[in-house]
Amino acid sequence: MQADFVIIGAGSAGSAMAYRLGEGGARVIVIEHGGTDAGPFIQMPAALSYPMNMSRYDWGFHTEPEPHLGGRVLATPRGKVIGGSSSINGMVYVRGHARDYDTWAEMGAQGWSYADVLPYFQRMESWHGQHDGGDPSWRGANGPLHISRGPRENPLFEAFIRAGEQAGYPVTRDYNGQQQEGFGPMEATIHNGQRWSAASAYLKPAMKKGNVEVIRAFARRVVIENGKAVGVEVERGGQIEVIPAAREVVVAASSINTPKILMLSGIGAAAHLRAHGVEVVADRPGVGANLQDHLELYLQFASKKPITLYKYWNLWGKAVIGAQWLFTKKGLGASNQFEACAFIRSKPGVEYPDIQYHFLPIAVRYDGKASAEGHGFQAHVGPMRSKSRGAVTLRSGDPKDAPKILFNYMSHPSDWEDFRTCIRLTREIFGQEAMAGYVKHEIQPGAAVQTDAQLDAFIGEHVESAYHPCGTARMGRRDDPLAVVDPECRVIGVEGLRVADSSIFPQVTNGNLNAPSIMVGEKAADHLLGRTPLPRSNAEPWINPNWRTTQR
């Protein structure tokens, strides 16, 4: 097959691009190192802690020892499978706040303000929340990506939302609509009881139509001749070959692998490339820089009532849930269990939310280890806009070597202050009347942990990544020396090469990154096809009118 476009990566953005480019009549080859997404570990929403920890589906990256976290090494999972990280993530669907995109535009990503990107979010969605509040005019009805809400049958979900209301916060019926700020139901990429990844939504339908092909191979570098990208060098079946692109090459390999591939292709900080024996094609010091993420803590509480998911946390319980899901696609197996959430502001003078909550009706860790105390529940909480920045760099000039990843987590003093605020605000929420019938005591950090020093010790030891890395090939003006791509996703200094995934985010968005990554793929496809972008939206998002003077 001769391809007009060759895309590296079958993840959130890559799959969306393949679908739209194929729909536009182009011939597309998608290169993916990982294999099939078939099987219950990926397809059953409640099994989400498994694929993230399976080497078959995950690249298995780790950070370097993080200097501000006492040298801790943190896992950095990235999907190595059809659908990429959308096949191993928590399935939480968050567009981000309107102001996130307005900030992007201010940072030089012209044409990516909220008014510009909202129509793309609407184009990609099939929203199933109409019967649960929210305004359908803000949402999409006919897109490939199905968005649903959990049933919230466990009374703890409603208690969490009520507690937020009692603490004086707004309630929002749709944080992906006009008003993000507040407590409300959480949305997920789950459809008919199954994970609805970018592979299910975009890639498989595109392959059925015939002009999109997926090649399973390891992408080594982009082949650049006379300043123009002409193809991708891959390793397949022990052989190294080049897959040619008649029009353009697009790198959509994740915020970890994309900068690595760019650097191995000769695009990056010149001195760094030369140090690893790579010939410099374009001196772009922004490649690999500007790495950001969200960190979170799990605040856990013991439950007075045996109503949490702990009662299923045994082999028999999991077998029953698994069997029910296999035969009916219903029951607890059909939910990611994140069914209530909140976005709040940390203090007066913050214009839009900078703290996110995921509520979970069990006390458990991402790796699937339950709390020793039995019945409990937890809130995942963390600041949205950390000032800390890290970098992805080459470990060597060998494509087989994993890159060096250093987030430089908690390197900015405000991060510690923000996390202490998160803990104190969370305790206040769980101290409300709505939670009184459920909260027995605080498991972690525990009631004894109160002073700044005690809280900081707890934070340093327990803070975890929310797995939202981005920013390592950021979008900006063509004359910005630290920008890697221009607002049409074109790599500055090379012809015929674009980047379209979470690498191009100038700043991390509010919430989980799967939705914005898919949106980038959708919008980039229009740029690749030379189409006029969708008309801007006139919708006015809600900003708390008293944000200058009040925290809630």
pLDDT at 409 over 70: yes
- Averaged over 369-387, what is the pLDDT? 92
Burial class (CB in 10 A: 0-12, 13-18, 19+), 381: buried
Q: At 488, is the secondary structure helix, strand, or coil?
A: coil
How many CB atoms within 10 Å of residue 76? 22
- Looking at the chain, the domain(s) classified CATH 3.50.50.60 span 1-56+78-124+196-287+473-534
Catalytic annotation, residues: 468
Band of the pLDDT at 366, cuts 50, 70, 90?
Answer: low
What is d(CA 348, CA 73) in angstroms, rounded to the nearest whole number? 35
Tokens of 204: 């498989």
What is d(CA 312, CA 46) in angstroms, rounded to the nearest whole number? 12
Tokens of 256: 């970890």
Would you state the CATH architecture of domain 1-56+78-124+196-287+473-534?
A: 3-Layer(bba) Sandwich (3.50)
What per-residue confidence (pLDDT) applies to 235?
Answer: 98
User: Among candidates 279, 133, 143, which has minimal Cα distance to 205?
Assistant: 143
What per-residue confidence (pLDDT) applies to 343?
Answer: 98
Q: At 549, is the secondary structure helix, strand, or coil?
A: coil
The answer to whether the predicted template modeling score (pTM) of the entire model surpasses 0.95 is yes
- Looking at the chain, the domain(s) classified CATH 3.30.560.10 span 57-77+125-195+292-465
Query: Is residue 23 within 8 Å of residue 546, measured between CB atoms?
Result: no
Q: At 42, is the secondary structure helix, strand, or coil?
A: helix
Query: Is residue 196 within 8 Å of residue 358, measured between CB atoms?
Result: no
pLDDT tens track for 298-353? 999 999 999 999 999 999 999 999 999 999 999 999 999 999 999 999 999 999 99
pLDDT tens track for 48-97? 989 988 999 999 999 999 999 999 999 999 999 999 999 999 999 999 99
Classify residue 460 as left (phi > 0), alpha (psi -120 to 50) or beta.
alpha
| Terminal CA-CA length for the chain | 57
pLDDT tens track for 24-46? 999 999 999 999 999 999 999 99
Q: CATH 3.30.390.50: does it fit domain 57-77+125-195+292-465?
A: no
Query: Is residue 390 within 8 Å of residue 319, measured between CB atoms?
Result: no
